[in-house]
Chain A
Amino acid sequence: MSSINIDGTDVPFEPGQTIMDAALAAGVYIPHLCHKPGISPHGSCKLCTVDVNGRAVSACTMAAAEGQKIENNTPALNEVRKSITQMLFIEGNHLCPSCEKTGDCTLQAVGYHLGMLDGHYPQFYPRREVDASHPSLVLDRDRCIMCELCVRASREVDGKDVFAIGGRGTGRHLIVNSATGKLADSDITTDDLAAHICPVGAILIKDHGYEVPIGRRTFDLHSVAETDLGEVKLTKTRHHDE
């Protein structure tokens, strides 16, 4: 079987697999937010940025190929990923203590994994619309990270087309496919994958917040990765892109 080399370890791959596919199959964690096995890859969050033979690529969209020498879990790359995670935090309103998803949020878990202490950059504090029109779902755009997992899940798995991203640049925002633009008037149901796939607290099932006590939530018990940093320095560190 052909193989790629990730951080010095040979990882087998099959034709058609991306670097991410091969890594996950071999139990090698590459940080990611917009990727989900079974949904078409997107390459937008850039958290899975790796250096392949010195070139920066997204592991989730780049096909694995013989001879690829891949840097993944290096201090420099994790520092870059921390900066990208910080960008995601500060462009939205991610106020963990008041979010129902806290403890089960992948953005938060990635922050823990990377030893993120703060947002580092000045906060954007955007004003984004909340859509609570649906009887059993709520859409809080403050927490949306534009990963488009809901967009893709709705199209590819649910066979619907409930979500899309509108706008441009920092004005990008999640929009709903209905005449009013409201979730209540769309054909989404709580049976849809799109209703559950949100990695953050932007799309939530109503009446189910804070059901799991602190200490027993997903990321109280598990790390987002197999491999993890043992300790977090409480001072700022720097990335070394250049």
Chain B
Amino acid sequence: MHVHHGQESQPGFLTQPQLNDHLLHRLHDLQTRFRHIPQPSIAELAEELQLPITQVEAVIDFYAFFHRQPRGQTDILFSNCTSCGDLALMQQLCDRLQVEPEQTRADGRISIGQASCIGMCDHGPSALVNGIPLTSITAELIEQMAALIESDTPVASWPENWFRVGNHIRKEGLLLSESFEPGSALKSMRGRNRDQLLEAITASGLKGRGGAGFSTGMKWQFCRDAESTTRYVVCNADEGEPGTFKDRILLNSHADEVFEGMTICGHIIGATQGYLYLRGEYRYLLDALNTTLQRRRDAGLLGANILGEGIDFDIAIVVGAGAYICGEESALIESMEQKPGIPRIRPPFPVTCGFRNQPTVVNNVETLAAAANIILRGHEWFETRGTWQSRGSKLLSVSGDCARPGIYEVAFGVTIEDILHDCGATDVQAVQVGGPSGSLVGPDKFSHCIAFEDIATGGSFMIFNHTRDLLDIIGKFTRFFAHESCGFCTPCRVGTTLLNNGMQKICSGHGTAHDVDELARTAALVSRRSHCGLGITAANPIRDGLKHFPQLFEARLLHQEMEPEFNLDASLAEARKLTRRDDAEAHL
């Protein structure tokens, strides 16, 4: 998996900025055209792209948006996120159109399925309709959708306002309150050498906004100092953590800052090629992003000899295809290399051996936007907000049970209580900070702060009031990880499925104290022994739940020594049907 055959290092400057021949893009084209990847096209594509057939096959089966069997002319994927999903609405549409979930109706007109969080958590129940987000779905809207589908109305002719995606910026802080003139940060570099620019980033104390919080200045320095002639800058826009949508807003309204941050990073570390890895769920932003890139090229802010300063740098966009794991930086790089997104062995880290085995900086969207502003406004500007260990501001994606979901740019150090007050959340049972991989926080910890030294977060902030079944939510989060595990290492591949099975057993009222013990035991193993961050955090919802909300588990348990691992009576159903028996002995 980590042998990079057929991918020799090459200077990437200005080669195919549109990446038309990228395997993920070609498969997307096939999927769009034929509603699936036809078997004969696999060998053809492999030959044309000079890739092993197995690589094409593996990629098709790895990414959720590629299918072997035809999907419907209208393919609807309902988010199953606790904030932007409502599977009752999915069922309503299925019932209305008489189609089973994940199956294409016989007339080929419709298929309906699930997707992990699509980043529309501030819009209520949402779905991807032929890849485009349709937001704020209600039961009435489902009826209208059904009518359009039955009347064979192409999605392009559906009411435009159904697909409206707003920014919902509720609170502007350090970053969002400033207006940004494209090119201004680049121009401000004049008169400063690379060391001075790097020093500005380092001095600002900027840490990675994806959640891990590694020093951005150090990352750039490690990459700059790594032995090589070719380096890359990658912007991680694979915002897959359920409940996070702040990158969507940045890419929608602050793309210049992000691209400028990448360009500055390229200049500092000595890279001439940058890539933005955009999650497949945000493909609807692609045209606008490419337009921005072209506008920047036309304005001399991208391409050869930027601003006449002899800086060469260009940016191309790679679009993912439905895989949470690709948010992990080394999995993202594998995906950029046209492979399944399987995290690499680390060390070596991407800063020394990343894309095409060259030193690579992978930064979060928000980190790069902040970096551009730090260069423009100085590190002192940045330090006016936040705590000493967590300087600056953080964009929070607030969703769930509150009056005003949306983007809140807060200074690090803000308490959970304050945020709940700002967004109009009452009767709060718990907050999931940092998404399912983060922490489940109860009222006893609402006085804690959002900061790397207290409760760290990539930005997801999901609120659950007392009407919610928190155990069921833990179950949903656990199912999410089982679905998204890449399957590379045993503890995560098998363990996340065991955890999911265990949680579903307990949630459905069939668990015993023994099952809870087993869950805790497996959770400990998965957390400690997995290959990457996904496995290491996959049991967080269960572990936090058992620690802070044990009564939720206890209340659902059967008070007996053991309950079978499967439903005995249901296990006889097939035999009952085949024998047409329904006597007393035909049940357990």
B475-486: CB near A (< 8 Å → 1, else 0) gives: 000000011111
Choose, from A5-13, A44-52, A192-200, A203-211, the stretch at the interface: A44-52
How far does the Cβ of B372 sit from chain A's closest Cβ, in whole Å? Answer: 35
A222 is an interface residue with CB less than 8 A from chain B: no
Q: Closest A-chain residue to B63, C-beta based?
A: A168
Given A146-B487, A164-B57, A172-B487: A241 touches B493 (CB 8 Å cut-off): no
Q: Closest A-chain residue to B62, C-beta based?
A: A168
Q: How far is the CA of A40 from the CA of B531 in the complex (A)?
A: 17
Query: Do A122 and B54 touch across chains, with their CB atoms under 8 A apart?
Result: no
Query: Do B528 and A56 touch across chains, with their CB atoms under 8 A apart?
Result: yes
CB neighbours (8 Å) of A161 from chain B are 5, 52, 54
Given A146-B487, A168-B62: A155 touches B529 (CB 8 Å cut-off): no
Chain A residues 188-240 with CB under 8 Å of chain B are 238-239
Q: How far is the CA of A58 from the CA of B529 in the complex (A)?
A: 9
Choose, from A21-29, A93-101, A174-182, the stretch at the interface: A174-182
Query: Do A169 and B528 touch across chains, with their CB atoms under 8 A apart?
Result: no
B517-534: CB near A (< 8 Å → 1, else 0) gives: 000011011011111000
How far does the Cβ of A30 sit from chain B's closest Cβ, in whole Å? Answer: 14
Chain B residues 519-567 with CB under 8 Å of chain A are 521-522, 524-525, 527-531, 565-566
CB neighbours (8 Å) of B487 from chain A are 146, 167-172
How far does the Cβ of B563 sit from chain A's closest Cβ, in whole Å? Answer: 12
Q: How far is the CA of A87 from the CA of B496 in the complex (A)?
A: 11
Given A87-B494, A168-B486, A169-B486: A156 touches B3 (CB 8 Å cut-off): yes
Query: Do A88 and B490 touch across chains, with their CB atoms under 8 A apart?
Result: yes
Q: How far is the CA of A238 from the CA of B525 in the complex (A)?
A: 11
Query: Do B58 and A175 touch across chains, with their CB atoms under 8 A apart?
Result: yes
How far does the Cβ of B152 sit from chain A's closest Cβ, in whole Å? Answer: 34
Task: Report which of B58, B61, B493 forms a contact with A146, defined as CB distance below 8 A.
Answer: B493
A152 is an interface residue with CB less than 8 A from chain B: yes
CB neighbours (8 Å) of A165 from chain B are 1, 58
Q: Closest A-chain residue to B498, C-beta based?
A: A121
CB neighbours (8 Å) of B3 from chain A are 40, 152, 155-156
B489 is an interface residue with CB less than 8 A from chain A: yes
B357 is an interface residue with CB less than 8 A from chain A: no
Task: Report which of B53, B340, B485, B488 forms a contact with A179, defined as CB distance below 8 A.
Answer: B53
Q: How far is the CA of A167 from the CA of B487 in the complex (A)?
A: 8
Task: Report which of B61, B345, B483, B527 forms a contact with A41, defined as CB distance below 8 A.
Answer: B345
How far does the Cβ of A194 sit from chain B's closest Cβ, in whole Å? Answer: 13
B2 is an interface residue with CB less than 8 A from chain A: yes
How far does the Cβ of B548 sit from chain A's closest Cβ, in whole Å? Answer: 16
B72 is an interface residue with CB less than 8 A from chain A: no
Query: Do A176 and B54 touch across chains, with their CB atoms under 8 A apart?
Result: yes
Q: How far is the CA of A56 from the CA of B521 in the complex (A)?
A: 16
Given A44-B531, A87-B491, A178-B53: A166 touches B61 (CB 8 Å cut-off): yes
CB neighbours (8 Å) of A176 from chain B are 54
Q: How far is the CA of A91 from the CA of B497 in the complex (A)?
A: 10
CB neighbours (8 Å) of B524 from chain A are 239, 241-242
Q: How far is the CA of A146 from the CA of B494 in the complex (A)?
A: 12
A184 is an interface residue with CB less than 8 A from chain B: no
CB neighbours (8 Å) of B522 from chain A are 83, 121
CB neighbours (8 Å) of A142 from chain B are none
Chain A residues 130-180 with CB under 8 Å of chain B are 146, 148, 151-152, 155-156, 161, 163-172, 175-179
Query: Do B54 and A45 touch across chains, with their CB atoms under 8 A apart?
Result: no
Q: Closest B-chain residue to A179, C-beta based?
A: B43
Q: How far is the CA of A161 from the CA of B490 in the complex (A)?
A: 24
Given A41-B345, A46-B489, A170-B493: A177 touches B52 (CB 8 Å cut-off): yes
Chain A residues 38-81 with CB under 8 Å of chain B are 40-47, 49, 56, 58, 61, 63, 80
Query: Do B2 and A90 touch across chains, with their CB atoms under 8 A apart?
Result: no
Residue tally, chain B, CB below 8 Å to A: 46
- Choose among A46, A49, A178 the residue with the greatest number of B CB atoms under 10 Å from its CB: A46
Q: Closest A-chain residue to B60, C-beta based?
A: A166
Task: Report which of A169, A178, A238 forms a contact with B493, defined as CB distance below 8 A.
Answer: A169
Task: Report which of B345, B488, B494, B527 forms a contact with A90, defined as CB distance below 8 A.
Answer: B494
Q: Closest B-chain residue to A174, C-beta based?
A: B54
CB neighbours (8 Å) of A170 from chain B are 482, 485, 487, 493-494, 497
Chain B residues 6-45 with CB under 8 Å of chain A are 43
Query: Do A166 and B62 touch across chains, with their CB atoms under 8 A apart?
Result: yes
Task: Report which of B52, B483, B525, B527 forms a contact with A164, defined as CB distance below 8 A.
Answer: B52
Q: Closest A-chain residue to B481, C-beta based?
A: A169
B55 is an interface residue with CB less than 8 A from chain A: yes
A84 is an interface residue with CB less than 8 A from chain B: yes
Query: Do B490 and A87 touch across chains, with their CB atoms under 8 A apart?
Result: yes
B251 is an interface residue with CB less than 8 A from chain A: no
Task: Report which of A43, A46, A56, A84 forms a contact with B345, defined as CB distance below 8 A.
Answer: A43
CB neighbours (8 Å) of A40 from chain B are 2-3
How far does the Cβ of B196 sit from chain A's closest Cβ, in whole Å? Answer: 35
CB neighbours (8 Å) of B52 from chain A are 161, 164, 177
CB neighbours (8 Å) of A42 from chain B are 1-2, 345
Q: How far is the CA of A202 from the CA of B485 in the complex (A)?
A: 23
Q: How far is the CA of A241 from the CA of B535 in the complex (A)?
A: 15
Given A164-B58, A167-B62, A168-B61: A46 touches B491 (CB 8 Å cut-off): yes
Q: How far is the CA of A124 from the CA of B496 in the complex (A)?
A: 13
Query: Do A124 and B53 touch across chains, with their CB atoms under 8 A apart?
Result: no
CB neighbours (8 Å) of A83 from chain B are 521-522, 525
Q: Closest B-chain residue to A167, C-beta based?
A: B61
Q: How far is the CA of A127 from the CA of B180 in the complex (A)?
A: 57
How far does the Cβ of B555 sit from chain A's closest Cβ, in whole Å? Answer: 24
How far does the Cβ of A184 sit from chain B's closest Cβ, in whole Å? Answer: 15
9 cross-chain CB contacts under 8 A: A44-B531, A80-B529, A83-B522, A164-B57, A165-B58, A168-B340, A170-B485, A177-B52, A242-B524
Q: 10 closest Cβ contacts across the A-B interface?
A: A164-B54, A87-B494, A172-B487, A122-B565, A241-B524, A166-B58, A177-B54, A169-B487, A166-B61, A167-B61
Give the A-binding residues of B (Cβ under 8 A): 1-3, 5, 43, 52-55, 57-58, 60-62, 323, 340, 345, 347, 482-491, 493-498, 501, 521-522, 524-525, 527-531, 565-566
Besides A168-B62, A241-B527, 5 other CB < 8 A contacts? A80-B529, A88-B494, A121-B522, A169-B486, A238-B521
